[in-house]
Structure 1
Amino acid sequence: MEKKNEINGHAMPGSASTDQILEKSSQKSLREKLMEFLRKNLLVILTVSGVLVGVGLGMMVRSMNLTKAQMTYFAFPGEMLLRMLKMIILPLVVCSLVSGAASLDTRSLGKLGGIAVAYFLVTTLIASGIGVALAFIIKPGVGAGALNTNNLGLESVSSNKETTDSFLDLNKQAHVSFFMLQYATDYKMVAVGNDTNGTTLYQKVPYGTETDGMNILGLVLFAMVFGVALRKLGDEGEELIRFFNAFNEATMVLVSWIMWYIPFGIMFLVGSKIVEMEDVVLLVTSLGKYIFASILGHVIHGGIVLPLIYFGLTRKNPFSFLSGLITPFTTAFATCSSSATLPSMIKCVEENNGVDKRISRFILPIGATVNMDGAAIFQCIAAVFIAQLNNTELNAGQIFTILVTATASSVGAAGIPAGGIITIAIILEAIGLPTNDLSLMLAVDWIVDRTTTVVNVEGDALGAGILHHINQLEMKKHQQEGELSEVQVEAVANVQAEEETSPLVTHQAKALEAMPEAIESVL
């Protein structure tokens, strides 16, 4: 029943009741909440929609039987996204690490760096253990002895690189002077003389070559050392530090512009990959157990192990932290590149999760280079899979070698699509297995590499969150110590009228007068 307001006994038509006003205000607030939610999560919604639309678009275009040239044109918008992300990696890594290393105190830099290295090492070892355990439980290669590269129409992939040279390459990459090239070892046969029958003897001699591709490991090492050197300069280095800080902020503005192109580019990246697939059903059914074991390992490590480590160290909900990183996770799933995901990861970690810029811009570029949890899982599974495929029983020493080699070789592995295949060759060489079955891994790598990259970047993000939490605890501790010092100084300042204080306080004041430097340091 509509109520009427009365003034001097006269009904006032058209006046709204209190209930209606409250209802309208509640509707308005609900609408505002919805608009605010859409405004905050618009990029996430568009990115996820881009993946779904890309799948549908790829299935539709797949039925058109495009030529190779037409496939290239169809994939062009996605290729543009990858090129834009790669374009921004060089200035982003250099400027963020230089400004991050220069803004942190040398002692805290060493402490944070030590914690980060320990975190990366422990999580990668756990990931390798999960991969080996799942491979022995699921046994993806048992009963698949007839599976070879010929019945799948694949070309064989071989690697004749020695294990020692592969590890030396990592060290050389860290010190190579020109950052746009990667260092790689190749071999040539050199005549060393003749045997008794007159036959020429040859020896395989390693020599260094430079291959195209950005040397991220060398960039990371140079930027960190350069930032520490600027810090040591003191006032003379301040101007250059400010330059790198401004350069870094300008780069992040470019990143924010590129991120609005991500949904459109991802749509064509996913769509073009579906169009390029040949007989995916045969591959999935033949290698289904290997794919299942790899993805299950990524789900266990990324959905259980890493969140538990984060919760154990911070006592915070890891999934609320990860919910702010849907956009970089989607980018990782579409691009299969940890390096390409770095720009959006830095932006989202800072803006959505409130991680200190000095922490995120210092640790995330390092993590994108050296922390490869997802890669360690599928590399260990692939090594055991190939051993089972060749009916080779692995002993305890070989299993230990797989764990150590997968953990160590993931450091400095290229953060690019299919970058882990070369690392599997290193593992196979280390345990004495043939590398001619690597093409089986390469055939389905485009499937496994998506979840691999998501787990890689998740480990980096949670590591940044853990370091941010530890840094906050240290700051609170120093703040409390500072407050205690202020209380002590205040008590000393009141010790001027000796007759109004106790003999104990007077004694303390005289002792402090004898040490003027201590008072100055506290003040």
Structure 2
Amino acid sequence: MARGKDICNKSWWLTVLKTNLLVLLTLTGAIIGFALGIGLRSHDLSQDAVIWIGIPGEMYMRSLKMMILPLIICSVIAGTASLDPKSNGKISIVALVYILATNCLPCLVGMAMALIIRPGEGVDVSNGQRVVDQPVMETSDIFADLFRNVFPDNIVAASFQQSQTKYEIQEEFIRLNVSGNVVNNTVIEKLKKIGVAYSTNVLGIVVCCLLFGIATTSVGELGRPFFLFFHSASEIILKILRWMVWATPVGVASLIAVALIKSGGLVDTFKSMGMFTLTIASAIAVYQLLIVPLYYFIIMRTNPYKFLISMSRPWMVSFATASSAVAIPETLNCLEQDNHVDKRISRFVVPLASTINRDGSALYITAACIFVAQLTGVDLDGGKIVLIWVLTTVISLAVPSVPSAGVMAVLINLTALGIPGDNIGLLFAMEWLLDRIRTGSNMLSHACCAMVVFKLCKSSLPPLDEEMEIMIRPDNVEKPELCHLNNLEVNENSEKTVL
């Protein structure tokens, strides 16, 4: 009865509105973005007009990207430095096992939905074609690049580039004397060389920061100033990002509007690619709303949907920006503030998972492979389906960081299976939407990974001394007065000054 009175109370509604204000504003921004994009498509806008519509979203993206790398560096070092090597090892193993399992499971869902719906039947392959101009990377080269990037030779260069195998086609003319006749012959050879791709080597940076954090712990008291610096820096960066996040509604509206304005032939594209879009959206919905909650409940023994709702803000950021990395600050905030995950775990696991955990992408790659095979009339037997599953699970860990990397991974799989990739350009037609859908799924998986690791590893976390407990405790991030009271309590019980 008392609960009913609370709901009717005006102050209760004001509290709920204040608590969820950013979510509501972001949702409103997304609706405005869709309305603007669809409404302005019928007008012949100039390039300058489209640019200025997209300027707020571009500024929003640039400001967030500016802070992501410093946040990852400071968070990983501070998080691992507050653990002992034994705890670091257990957390890393649990996180990697989760990532491997959740890269494998959605592949089955994607293949099952593609085989049931059969989106490749009756599709007009004349629409949406686009030439894939990048050379197809070999699987062995992808993993060679992965190992190179795990151990970067220059930590500064890793901030803006990563190793990637480049191919160069060399033609050589040879004259052969065959039975007294001179025959001109052309030999084409593909040469490999180690080049660079201008994209942040997040995996290498995470590994380097992990080593710095472990070393900080191993040197004992001597490493405390180093830890305090990076912990302080991470909190300062998060504070700046909390200011920036209030620009999310405007940024979301701008990004979605420009994406819709630039997409050509929207009606024709939906006609030709509607079934494939439905397949991906349905598969991700089944995986994210049924399978993930099931294993989350089995492990956590709590309501999974309450957790998914709590991650709505970072999901919206991921959907609008098509980047789970951009959503890392908001993901950390929701995990630590709303779900009370220990910072020592969240600030190591989330950057690692955002690098190699790709649930939505793995699901998309398997479904797209079957879709293209259906377009070309290739019958897939059990052996080929299992091969698609295995290849996608492995390649999803090491897919190169290039534009439309998911489509490139599809082409790599098709080449390995001997399936013609002539119609793969059709996948680009709805890439602007499907990329956002699978990115949102990736982000939710990163958050689930942190929750599962926290559940399974919190008993082995080393106890904190009083000073570090005050800094690490998630409840104190937004409550400076609580931190102040804790400092006073410590000072009353001992003569130690708390920094």
TM bucket normalised to smaller: 0.7 to 0.9
Q: 2:317 matched to 1:331?
A: yes
Any idea what the Cα deviations from partners look like across 1:435-467, whole Å, max 9, x if unmatched?
Answer: 332321111111111220111111111111112
Q: Is the 8 A contact 1:369 1:414 kept in 2?
A: no
Match of 2:487 in 1: none
Name the aligned partner's letter for residue 352 of structure 1: D
Residue 164 of structure 2: which of 184, 190, 197 is its match?
184
Any idea what the Cα deviations from partners look like across 1:84-121, whole Å, max 9, x if unmatched?
Answer: 12111111111111111211221111111111111111
Deviation (angstroms), 1:406: 1.2
Secondary structure at 1:185's aligned position in 2?
strand
Name the aligned partner's letter for residue 84 of structure 1: S
Name the aligned partner's letter for residue 127 of structure 2: L
Deviation (angstroms), 1:27: 8.6
**Aligned CA distance change for structure 1 residues 434 and 98 (closer, same or farther; 3 Å):** farther
Question: Which range is displaced more, 468-477 or 161-170?
Answer: 468-477
Match of 2:288 in 1: 302
- Measure the CA separation in 2 of the matches of 1:465 and 1:164: 33
Please list, as runs of the form range in 1=range in 2, the aligned pairs for 1:507-518 lying within 5 A after superposition.
none
**Aligned CA distance change for structure 1 residues 389 and 398 (closer, same or farther; 3 Å):** same
Match of 1:491 in 2: none
Question: Which range is displaced more, 271-280 or 305-314?
Answer: 271-280
- Measure the CA separation in 2 of the matches of 1:39 and 1:226: 40
Q: Is the 8 A contact 1:140 1:385 kept in 2?
A: yes
Q: Is the 8 A contact 2:318 2:443 kept in 1?
A: yes
- Measure the CA separation in 2 of the matches of 1:297 and 1:59: 26
- The structure, 1 or 2, with the larger RCO (C-alpha pairs under 8 Å, 6+ apart) is 2
Name the aligned partner's letter for residue 61 of structure 1: L
Any idea what the Cα deviations from partners look like across 1:462-520, whole Å, max 9, x if unmatched?
Answer: 11111222234446999xxxxxxxxxxxxxxxxxxxxxxxxxxxxxxxxxxxxxxxxxx
Secondary structure at 2:325's aligned position in 1?
helix
Name the aligned partner's letter for residue 146 of structure 2: L
Match of 2:42 in 1: 63
**Aligned CA distance change for structure 1 residues 447 and 410 (closer, same or farther; 3 Å):** same
- Measure the CA separation in 2 of the matches of 1:398 and 1:238: 54
Deviation (angstroms), 1:236: 2.3
Match of 1:48 in 2: 27
Match of 2:179 in 1: none
- Measure the CA separation in 2 of the matches of 1:89 and 1:373: 22
CA RMSD in angstroms comes to 2.4
Q: 2:90 matched to 1:104?
A: no
Name the aligned partner's letter for residue 96 of structure 2: V
Residue 152 of structure 1: which of 127, 130, 144 is its match?
127
**Aligned CA distance change for structure 1 residues 417 and 303 (closer, same or farther; 3 Å):** farther
Deviation (angstroms), 1:377: 0.5
Q: Is the 8 A contact 2:107 2:389 kept in 1?
A: yes
**Aligned CA distance change for structure 1 residues 27 and 397 (closer, same or farther; 3 Å):** closer
Secondary structure at 2:196's aligned position in 1?
strand
- Measure the CA separation in 1 of the matches of 2:51 and 2:255: 11
Please list, as runs of the form range in 1=range in 2, the aligned pairs for 1:108-127 lying within 5 A after superposition.
108-127=87-106
- Measure the CA separation in 1 of the matches of 2:422 and 2:206: 34
Secondary structure at 2:190's aligned position in 1?
strand
Q: Is the 8 A contact 1:189 1:205 kept in 2?
A: yes
**Aligned CA distance change for structure 1 residues 343 and 436 (closer, same or farther; 3 Å):** farther
Question: Which range is displaced more, 51-60 or 352-361?
Answer: 51-60
Q: Is the 8 A contact 2:414 2:420 kept in 1?
A: yes
Identity of aligned residues (%): 32
- Measure the CA separation in 1 of the matches of 2:398 and 2:136: 20
Deviation (angstroms), 1:28: 11
Match of 1:267 in 2: 253
Q: Is the 8 A contact 2:7 2:13 kept in 1?
A: no
Q: Is the 8 A contact 2:85 2:214 kept in 1?
A: yes
Q: 2:151 matched to 1:175?
A: yes
- Measure the CA separation in 2 of the matches of 1:219 and 1:352: 28
Match of 2:495 in 1: none
Unaligned runs of 5+ in 2: 177-182, 465-499
Name the aligned partner's letter for residue 174 of structure 1: V
Q: Is the 8 A contact 1:346 1:360 kept in 2?
A: yes
Q: Is the 8 A contact 2:128 2:429 kept in 1?
A: no
Specify the structure having the higher radius of gyration (Cα): 1
Q: 2:187 matched to 1:201?
A: yes
Question: Which range is displaced more, 423-432 or 49-58?
Answer: 423-432
Name the aligned partner's letter for residue 197 of structure 2: T
Residue 425 of structure 1: which of 397, 402, 411 is its match?
411
Question: Which range is displaced more, 379-388 or 462-471?
Answer: 462-471
Name the aligned partner's letter for residue 297 of structure 1: A
Q: Is the 8 A contact 2:129 2:423 kept in 1?
A: no
Please list, as runs of the form range in 1=range in 2, the aligned pairs for 1:222-241 lying within 5 A after superposition.
222-241=208-227
Name the aligned partner's letter for residue 154 of structure 1: Q
Q: Is the 8 A contact 2:128 2:425 kept in 1?
A: no
- Measure the CA separation in 1 of the matches of 2:253 and 2:454: 34
- Measure the CA separation in 1 of the matches of 2:94 and 2:128: 47
Please list, as runs of the form range in 1=range in 2, the aligned pairs for 1:80-95 lying within 5 A after superposition.
80-95=59-74
Question: Which range is displaced more, 166-175 or 277-286?
Answer: 166-175
Q: 2:8 matched to 1:33?
A: no
Residue 244 of structure 1: which of 230, 233, 243 is its match?
230
Match of 2:108 in 1: 129
Q: Is the 8 A contact 2:114 2:367 kept in 1?
A: yes
Unaligned runs of 5+ in 1: 1-22, 479-523
Deviation (angstroms), 1:202: 3.8
Secondary structure at 1:142's aligned position in 2?
coil
Q: Is the 8 A contact 2:29 2:250 kept in 1?
A: yes
